[in-house]
């Protein structure tokens, strides 16, 4: 069974793309952002997204740590 990471990709215009991707896909996206290319194909759990890397402002990876209670 493939484990998926929850990621949010934020863009310069303020839009956010939320997706679930395999760890290898997340690593490939990080490498592509540092590689100087313009476009990257991101394979997600439920489809494929072509990203304009020049517009990506950030990547957020959600923690899979269990949360109990209401927190402070």
CATH number where 47 lies: 2.30.30
Assess whether pLDDT exceeds 60 at residue 72.
Answer: no
Pairing of strands 56-61, 5-11: antiparallel
pLDDT for 9-61, tens place per residue? 999 999 999 999 999 999 999 999 998 889 999 999 999 999 999 999 999 99
Number of domains in the chain: 1
Q: Is 30 domain-assigned?
A: yes
Residue 67 domain-assigned (yes or no): no
Q: Global pTM?
A: 0.82
In a domain, residue 50? The reply is yes
- Average pLDDT over all residues of the chain: 90
Segments forming the whole domain that contains residue 37: 5-61
Residue 6 has pLDDT above 60, yes or no: yes
Contact 61, 5 (CB under 8 A): yes
Q: Is residue 47 part of a domain?
A: yes
């Amino acid at each position: 069974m493939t484990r998926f990471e929850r990621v949010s990709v934020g863009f310069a215009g303020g839009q956010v793309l939320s997706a679930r991707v395999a760890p290898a896909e997340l690593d490939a996206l990080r490498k592509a952002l540092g590689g100087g290319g313009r476009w990257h194909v991101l394979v997600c759990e439920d489809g494929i997204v072509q990203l304009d890397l020049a517009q990506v402002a950030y990547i957020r990876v959600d923690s899979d740590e269990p949360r109990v209670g209401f927190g402070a």
